């Protein structure tokens, strides 16, 4: 497994410039993640405030844009208390276990196109490992430990309930998330995020439907968005920290900066998941270049891809805020049954349909036969599966 080698940066061997560029890129990605969270929280609060006939933050900085920074500074200077029943080491470690994978997951996101820095060609992304998208699944799997251990080690009952919910929820939706990603990987034929983005390059306005994967993988796209919300504990799936039920869920006993770190990690995960959705389904940085400037000018090489990436990211992030402001929260058993009885089946069948369609295209079969045949076959499998699943009424009757 070679984590970095796909980048043309290493083609001419590694010297001091390459190392410096790499350090620069690392710092830049770290800064981007932190800043995006800073602004996402402000953005979310402003948009929700607008949806709820409120004003939202407005005191710190212009339009209250520094509110998150002020909150962060405040959290730093607050006392961090620890319950005496807590398992000290795990309790201290848990926030960082949540934070570090959240930062690292962003490393594989292609932010822009291929640029040239100090004579070296390189991608505007920190790493382009062969394992690509699996890196995301790894990191979100590890991030689960932070949430789970935080609740478990607090020595308190509400966090314990929260962490039990967290482990069940994140594990089950990881499955749906992984299967949804398969729908794209089969089309792209690679795990590498750069490879996926290159497969969705922009040639004309037609590319929006013909090249980007959101249309051929529309089922996977929807499943991915739902599973990603559940994976990041975003409403309506925020049972892990359901304030009205579990006070604060897994972070009830945390205070000061450790509490803030959980939130930082959570919003980082949300930004990363949205960025991955952009990469997988919406072409990442690809988009129309400016026609009136030269194709190789810095505007079209540096600015435009980053602009398109940011624009698509903002659209998805706005959608998350909208969902947050609108939907009531699901219940624990409803969440689990939705995940296991519907989402995973759908994702599985969609992956199979995709497989048939892509193999059919490779073999040169008639598309007008393979696509309907695959869909009918998938629907039949789903029908059989749903006949086997006990209905909600039956289980509730037994339960009562």
Partner 1 sequence: MSTSTHDHDASTTETDRLLRQTSEGAQVLRRDTPAQPGAREIVLTGDSWPDDDETMIINMGPAHPSTHGVLRVMMELDGETVLRAKPVIGYLHTGMEKQAEQLTYVQGGTNVTRMDYLSPMSNELVFSLAVEQLLGIEVPERAVWARMYLVELQRMASHLLFQATNGMDIGALSMMIYGWREREEVLRLVESITGLRMNNNFIRVGGIAADLPDGWQQHTLDVLELVEHGVSQYETLLVENPIWQERTVGVGTITTDEALALGATGPILRSTGFPWDLRKAQPYLAYDDVEFDVCYGSNGDCYDRFLIRLYEILESVKIIRQCIERMPGGDYRVQDRKVTPPPRARIDESMEALIHHFKLFTEGFKVPVGETYSVVESPRGEIGCYIVSDGTPKPVRMHIRGPSFYNLQSMAAMVPGSFVADAVAIISSIDPILGEVDR
Q: Give the binding site for partner 1 (CB under 8 A).
A: 48, 51-54, 157-158, 161, 164-165, 235-236, 238-239, 242-247, 324-334, 396, 399-400
Closest CA to 109 of 189, 202, 30: 30
Based on DSSP, count helices (H) and strands (E) in the chain, helices before strands: 16, 2
The shares of helix, strand and coil residues in the chain, as percent rounded to the nearest 5, are: 70, 0, 30
What is the smallest separation between the CB atom of 300 and partner 1, expressed in angstroms? 42
Closest CA to 335 of 203, 213, 201, 245: 245
Please identify, using beta-carbon distances, which residue of 26 and 334 lies nearer to partner 1. 334
What is the smallest separation between the CB atom of 252 and partner 1, expressed in angstroms? 11
What is the phi/psi pair of residue 288, to 5°? -65, 140
Please identify, using beta-carbon distances, which residue of 225 and 356 lies nearer to partner 1. 225
What is the smallest separation between the CB atom of 245 and partner 1, expressed in angstroms? 5
Please identify, using beta-carbon distances, which residue of 130 and 245 lies nearer to partner 1. 245
Q: Are 278 and 112 in contact (CB under 8 A)?
A: no
What is the smallest separation between the CB atom of 323 and partner 1, expressed in angstroms? 11
What is the torsion angle, in degrees rounded to the nearest 10, for the CA atoms of residue 362, residue 365, residue 370 and residue 371?
60
DSSP 8-state class, residue 249: G
Please identify, using beta-carbon distances, which residue of 212 and 338 lies nearer to partner 1. 338
What is the smallest separation between the CB atom of 56 and partner 1, expressed in angstroms? 12
CB atoms within 10 A of CB 359: 13
Please identify, using beta-carbon distances, which residue of 64 and 249 lies nearer to partner 1. 249
CB atoms within 10 A of CB 129: 21
What is the smallest separation between the CB atom of 254 and partner 1, expressed in angstroms? 16
Please identify, using beta-carbon distances, which residue of 32 and 336 lies nearer to partner 1. 336
Distances in whole angstroms, Cα of residue 47 to Cα of each of 134, 194, 342, 374: 33, 32, 31, 42
């Amino acid at each position: 497994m070679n984590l970095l080698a796909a980048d043309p940066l290493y083609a001419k061997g590694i010297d001091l410039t390459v190392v410096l560029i790499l350090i620069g890129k690392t710092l830049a990605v770290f800064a981007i993640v932190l800043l995006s969270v800073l602004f996402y929280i402000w953005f979310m609060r402003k948009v929700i405030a607008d949806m709820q006939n409120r004003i939202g933050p407005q005191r710190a900085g212009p339009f209250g844009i520094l509110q998150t920074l002020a909150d962060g500074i405040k959290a730093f200077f607050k006392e961090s208390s620890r319950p005496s029943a807590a398992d000290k080491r795990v309790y201290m470690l848990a926030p960082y276990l949540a934070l570090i994978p959240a930062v690292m997951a962003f490393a594989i996101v292609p932010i822009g196109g291929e640029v040239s820095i100090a004579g070296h060609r390189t991608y505007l992304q920190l790493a382009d490992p062969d394992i690509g998208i699996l890196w995301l699944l790894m990191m979100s799997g590890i991030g689960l430990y932070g949430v789970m251990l935080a609740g478990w080690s607090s020595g308190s009952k509400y966090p314990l309930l929260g962490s039990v919910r967290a482990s069940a929820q994140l594990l089950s939706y990881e499955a749906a998330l992984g299967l949804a990603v398969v729908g794209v990987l089969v089309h792209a034929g690679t795990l590498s995020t750069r490879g996926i983005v290159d497969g969705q390059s922009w040639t004309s306005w037609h590319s929006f439907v013909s090249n980007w994967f959101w249309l051929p993988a529309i089922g996977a796209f929807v499943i991915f968005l739902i599973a990603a919300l559940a994976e990041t504990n975003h409403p309506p799936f925020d049972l892990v920290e359901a304030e009205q039920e579990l006070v604060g869920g897994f972070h009830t006993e945390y205070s000061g900066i450790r509490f803030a770190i959980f939130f930082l990690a959570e919003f980082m995960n949300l930004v990363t998941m949205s960025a991955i959705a952009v990469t997988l389904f919406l072409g990442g940085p690809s988009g129309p270049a400016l026609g009136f400037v030269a194709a190789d000018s810095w505007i079209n090489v540096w600015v435009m891809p980053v602009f398109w990436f940011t624009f698509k990211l903002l659209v998805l992030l706005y959608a998350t805020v909208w969902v947050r402001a609108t939907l009531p929260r699901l219940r624990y058993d409803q969440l689990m049954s939705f995940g296991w009885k519907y989402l995973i089946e759908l994702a599985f069948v969609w992956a199979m349909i995709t497989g048939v369609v892509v193999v059919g295209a490779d073999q040169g079969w008639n598309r007008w036969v393979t696509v309907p045949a695959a869909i009918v076959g998938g629907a039949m499998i789903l029908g059989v599966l749903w006949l086997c699943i006990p209905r909600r009424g039956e289980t509730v009757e037994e339960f009562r």
